[in-house]
Amino acid sequence: MVHQSPTNVIVDDSVLGQEFLPPDLAARHSQLSLLEACLEPARHGRKPTHAWLHGSPGSGKTAVAKSALAKVVREAGVAGVTINCWERDSLYEVLDQMITDLKVFHAEEHRSSVKLERLKRCLGEKRLVILLDEIDKVPPAERSKILYTLDEMGNTGLVCVSCSMSALFELEERVRSRINPRTINFSPYSAEEIIEILTRRAHLAIASGACPPFLIKRIAAACSGDARVAIQTLRNAAESAEHAGRASLTPRDLVSGWHDSQRAKASDVLRRLTEDHRLLCGIVSRSKEILSTDLHRLYLRRCARHGRNPVAVRTFSSYVNQLVQLGLIGCERARVKGNVRLLKAAK
């Protein structure tokens, strides 16, 4: 078998990366305008209006938030901090990153109260916008504590990004009423909008003529409005073509890219859930098919074996429902008496 020399299908890898922020956000001008209006008071030395961006994964929330933050920092001299709450899920860790990013010196003290005092002293009346990405990954009680504390920091505006409104409703009533954010909804992209996004990315990242328009349409039709999956599929397909020594993408590359992006998405989603979610998903995957009652029995057995405290039955059912909704496991009504479901490993 003759080995094919890789070809340069991808001319700018960064454009297909998750951190790339396009200069113009396709199909998200209205949401960007709403968020910029929330941050407008900061341009005049006043406290910005808090904002809560919510919508399904891959709907452009983080891109809009980062774009608006970068613009107000660049044009109005406002300080800005971006926190990934999946990585920083406690008040201490949030304050610690803020101290690092804002270059607050002599704040090595391990107590949150001291860090907060140093931050307040350093900021004074300066305007600050804090982007809290994936705020829904923080447990509700700690989430309330973080938002209440940050709201007290003078001219500080909060931009919270989450997959749903439930993370806002879970806050303590006093915290929810205090921050009173402007909610901005992000619906999944339409197929036409995904085509526009992919066409722009392909123009910047892929060699001219290497990505036929009909393949972009196929990706758009399959990704269910998730731009991240669409872009990752395009990238995987382009890498497949390069590895095979082809000068352009083919349907074969697209199939390979799609499966790779789906596996990556499932792995990323599962990584962001709890250990109990992962344990349940693992049991279902190994069993191929399992009744919900048997899943609970095996789950309790695994917890006992590893010295873990199992979640309550109600929480167990909630976790199973979440795994089904995320497409990590399949579900159908079992052909037995009672409220029993047949759970299946995801294809």
Locate 19 and state its tokens: 């951190």
- Phi first, then psi: give them for residue 93, nearest 5 degrees: -70, -35
Contacts of residue 134, defined as CB under 8 A and 6 or more positions apart, other chains included, come to 84, 85, 86, 161, 162, 272
Q: Is 124 found in the same domain as 214?
A: no
Tell me how far apart the alpha carbons of residues 333 and 252 are, in angstroms, rounded to a whole number: 36
What pLDDT score was predicted for residue 5? 46
What pLDDT score was predicted for residue 94? 95
Number of independent structural domains in the chain: 3
Domain assignment of residue 300, given as a range: 273-345
Q: Tell me if 58 sits within 8 A of 228, measured CB to CB.
A: yes
Q: Is 138 found in the same domain as 52?
A: yes
CATH number at residue 193: 1.10.8.60
Q: Is 179 found in the same domain as 77?
A: yes
DSSP 165-194: SHHHHTS-HHHHHHH-PEEEEEPPPPHHHH
pLDDT tens, residue order, the chain (347 aa): 344 445 689 999 999 998 899 989 989 999 999 999 999 999 999 999 999 999 988 999 999 999 999 999 999 989 999 999 988 889 999 999 999 999 887 656 677 888 888 888 888 888 999 999 999 888 889 999 999 999 998 889 999 999 889 899 999 999 999 999 999 999 999 999 999 999 999 999 999 999 999 999 999 998 889 998 899 889 888 988 998 899 999 988 888 767 666 666 666 667 777 888 888 988 998 898 999 999 999 999 999 988 889 989 988 988 888 888 777 888 888 877 777 889 998 76
DSSP class of 16: G
Q: Structure pTM? A: 0.77
Q: Is 286 found in the same domain as 301?
A: yes
Q: Tell me if 65 sits within 8 A of 48, measured CB to CB.
A: no
Locate 341 and state its tokens: 């479901």
Residue 85 lies in a domain: yes
Q: Is 336 found in the same domain as 225?
A: no
Q: Is 182 found in the same domain as 36?
A: yes
What pLDDT score was predicted for residue 267? 67
Dihedral sign for Cα atoms in the order 27, 33, 35, 39: positive
What pLDDT score was predicted for residue 1? 39
What pLDDT score was predicted for residue 340? 86
Q: Is 203 found in the same domain as 336?
A: no
Tell me how far apart the alpha carbons of residues 118 and 99 are, in angstroms, rounded to a whole number: 9
CA atoms within 13 Å, Cβ hemisphere of 92: 5
Pairing of the two strands 341-345 and 289-291 = antiparallel
Tell me how far apart the alpha carbons of residues 320 and 290 are, in angstroms, rounded to a whole number: 12
Helix (H) or strand (E) holding 145: helix 140-151
In whole angstroms, how large is the CA radius of gyration of the chain?
Answer: 23
Contacts of residue 283, defined as CB under 8 A and 6 or more positions apart, other chains included, come to 290, 295, 298, 299, 302
Residue 23 lies in a domain: no
Q: Summarize pLDDT for 283-305 with one digit per residue, the tens.
A: 998 898 999 999 999 999 999 98
Tell me how far apart the alpha carbons of residues 139 and 142 are, in angstroms, rounded to a whole number: 6
